[in-house]
Amino acid sequence: MILSNNFIDRPPDFVMHIDEPMFSIPVVTVGLYVIISSFHYLRGLNQKLVTFLPLFIWTFYFLMFLFHDIAMMQVIGIVHFSPNFTTMISFIIIIKILLEAFWSNPDW
């Protein structure tokens, strides 16, 4: 996302800015933290952060993609809602993170 600026170039206006460095650099930083933390045994606060931070980021992007799809539906004049591929994939990732957080075996 850092290399390709403005990959979302249609309304609403606040969605257009999620691919700019202001948003991409914190996402990369959180990703590096989660990857480095995952090399060690996760306990306590570290375990909660490694679960919550990616869930927060994916939920944020899911909502932005969903808002973008709804806005484009109104701009183009489509009668029925058809989510984009990125919206569906981000929703599947959110469900996977939640399933892993609640039903994974912490002793592994």
Residues of the chain with pLDDT under 70: 1-17, 19, 75-76, 105-108
pTM over 0.75: no
What pLDDT does residue 1 have? Answer: 45
- Residue 43, pLDDT score: 76
| C-alpha separations of 87 from 44, 54, 60, 62, 69 in Å | 31, 16, 11, 6, 8
pLDDT value at residue 94: 94
Q: What pLDDT score does 44 carry?
A: 78
Q: In a 10 Å sphere around its CB, with 0-12 CB exposed, 13-18 middle and 19+ buried, how is residue 15 labelled? A: buried
Dihedral sign for Cα atoms in the order 30, 53, 27, 91: positive
CA 48 from centroid of its chain's CA atoms? 17
